[in-house]
Structure 1
Amino acid sequence: MTHADMILETKGLTRQFNGFTAVNGIDLRVRRGTIHALIGPNGAGKTTCFNLLTKFLTPSSGQIFFDGHEITKAAPAAIARSGVIRSFQISAVFPCLTPVENVTIALQRPLGVSFRFWKSSAMLIRLRERALELLDEVGLAPYADVKTVELSYGHKRALEIATTLAMDPVLMLLDEPTQGMGHEDVDRVTALIRKVSSGRTILMVEHNMKMVSSIADTITVLQRGEVLAEGDYASVSANPKVKEAYMGTENELLAH
């Protein structure tokens, strides 16, 4: 496997908070065109890792490379412009606007037209058409003009994925996309992620092991800020160290 296959790499990624090491020397390698899951017990450092990758936190030490270029010192906006887009849980959408309005706003960011779009009706029509295409892609076309606040929880998560897609991500970072969902919504969002992963790379933090087992090409298990194991689901779930880490917390790992 060559470096060219890697869309995202970290070397010795470390973050300390007042003497506590939340992430300790992580070497992460995310292969282009795959779905890569970060899992681990609570407090394992998964969210801190995400925050470091998107530069909401600055690493104490270590390096981050995206598409062969070092981005360790890049600003969050520059990282987003390069195509690393993080999906924020629901809070990223405006509840009083409709899904089509939410996606239209997200579409403007890469275009750099900000909120001036209403000056051109032709631009507005184009943006709305693209927004409707994205809503259709995530199964929300019938709800395009409903107030977002009225959508079900699962549909809100689908809208969140649509707004992330609107920013044309090369690498999508999904933070617990199935959190708080019932089985039906989990299955729907799993199928949706599989669908939108075509031609993209996805890195996700996820607790639902059944979902991870069905969708992830590679799984990195974190524990106490360090990589405990890595591989496909079969090898990771059979790893004695992983079983021990999950004992008493989430026997879910062993149940599937």
Structure 2
Amino acid sequence: MQDIILETQGLTKEFRGFVAVNDVSLRVQRGQIHALIGPNGAGKTTCFNLLTKFLTPTRGKITFNGLDITRDSPAHIARRGIIRSFQISAVFPHLSVLENVRIGLQRETGLSFHFWQSDKRLNTLNERARELLDQVDLGEFADEMTASLPYGRKRALEIATTLAMEPELMLLDEPTQGMGHEDVDRVTQLIKRVSQGRTILMVEHNMNVVSSIADTITVLARGSVLAEGNYAHVSKNPAVMEAYMGTTEGELEGAHG
């Protein structure tokens, strides 16, 4: 029996008659990297917004660790351990890299987001913050102002602040978007590394990233599930190829839908 951490049943979202997400049933296995992919307009981001309750489903059910969370608030979802990268990773540009991670760590201390706490009190979090920065290869940047970080390093900092929230399920929304090749490779390896002992659900356009790290891939098209399986399986699916490239020939390799 598979250990399912997150499941949706018949998840549907309509906007004034337009069906953005249509009867999506998703099962995310604990300990896996699960990628949600699809062409532009497929409903991926809407699906993420439903899972984190930034949108309320029109119909359907969401369960996390077997508990119905369909009507939970975004704050409740986060407290349960479902953390979406941008929720706490719109990094503070005029704080240091270390201070950004420290803000995420406050959640576990009962000091949550008390910006007026004295430095001495917050300094007790420094050791753990530096450990997290080392995990994402940012240890040497700890004392730099976040605004001065290159874009790819800022995305790594987002992952560190997400990890600081002790997520049981990490939702990563387009983690390599807008990156050059070198940054894409670095962040891809970083995601692979921090996935050890965790579950990750990610929306990602870059098929090279998906093919190299995703255990399971769910393909959405026009709001519905088109295919699901590992990369070898979905990349050879004619319906998937047609949705991405308008052709039933060749493979998905390298496509950036």
TM-score (norm 2): 0.94
Alignment partners' CA distance in 2, 1:112 and 1:214: 39
Which residue type is aligned with residue 193 of structure 2?
A: K
Q: Counterpart in 1 of 2:76?
A: 78
CA contact (8 A) 2:45 2:203 kept: yes
Q: Counterpart in 2 of 1:92?
A: 90
Q: Secondary structure at the match of 1:85?
A: strand
Q: Superposition pairs for residues 213-232 of structure 1, below 5 Å? A: 213-232=211-230
Alignment partners' CA distance in 2, 1:112 and 1:218: 36
CA contact (8 A) 2:85 2:173 kept: yes
Q: Secondary structure at the match of 2:92?
A: coil
Alignment partners' CA distance in 2, 1:107 and 1:90: 11
Q: CA deviation at 1:89?
A: 8.5
Task: Choose which of 61, 65, 75 in structure 2 pairs with 1:63.
Answer: 61
Q: Counterpart in 1 of 2:4?
A: 6
Q: Secondary structure at the match of 2:53?
A: coil
Alignment partners' CA distance in 2, 1:104 and 1:84: 19
Q: 1:164 to 1:91 in 2, by over 3 A?
A: closer
Alignment partners' CA distance in 2, 1:141 and 1:186: 19
Alignment partners' CA distance in 2, 1:40 and 1:89: 23
Q: CA deviation at 1:111?
A: 2.4
Task: Choose which of 150, 153, 160 in structure 2 pairs with 1:152.
Answer: 150
Q: CA deviation at 1:24?
A: 0.4
Alignment partners' CA distance in 2, 1:57 and 1:17: 11
Q: CA deviation at 1:46?
A: 0.1
- More deviation in 70-79 or 112-121? 112-121
How many residues align? The count is: 252
Q: Counterpart in 2 of 1:110?
A: 108
Q: 1:127 to 1:112 in 2, by over 3 A?
A: same
Q: Superposition pairs for residues 2-81 of structure 1, below 5 Å? A: 2=2, 5-81=3-79
Alignment partners' CA distance in 1, 2:56 and 2:190: 32
Query: Which deviations, in whole Å up to 9, do the C-alpha atoms of 1:192-220 show, x marking residues without a partner?
Result: 00010011000000000001000000000
Q: CA deviation at 1:116?
A: 6.0
Q: Secondary structure at the match of 1:27?
A: strand
Task: Choose which of 214, 235, 244 in structure 1 pairs with 2:233.
Answer: 235
CA contact (8 A) 2:62 2:70 kept: yes
Which residue type is aligned with residue 22 of structure 2?
A: N
Task: Choose which of 133, 140, 162 in structure 1 pairs with 2:131.
Answer: 133
User: Which residues of structure 2 form unaligned runs of 5+?
Assistant: none
Q: 1:91 to 1:85 in 2, by over 3 A?
A: closer
CA contact (8 A) 1:87 1:173 kept: yes
Q: CA deviation at 1:28?
A: 0.3
Which residue type is aligned with residue 140 of structure 1?
A: L
Q: 1:68 to 1:117 in 2, by over 3 A?
A: farther
CA contact (8 A) 1:81 1:110 kept: no
Alignment partners' CA distance in 1, 2:196 and 2:141: 24
Alignment partners' CA distance in 2, 1:236 and 1:164: 29
User: Which residues of structure 1 form unaligned runs of 5+?
Assistant: none
CA RMSD, Structure 1 to Structure 2 (Å): 1.8
TM-score (norm 1): 0.94
Alignment partners' CA distance in 2, 1:138 and 1:18: 43
Runs of 4+ in structure 1 deviating by more than 6 angstroms, as ranges, are none
CA contact (8 A) 1:52 1:58 kept: yes
Query: Kindly, what percent of the aligned residue pairs are identical?
Result: 70
Q: 1:248 to 1:240 in 2, by over 3 A?
A: closer
Q: CA deviation at 1:183?
A: 1.1
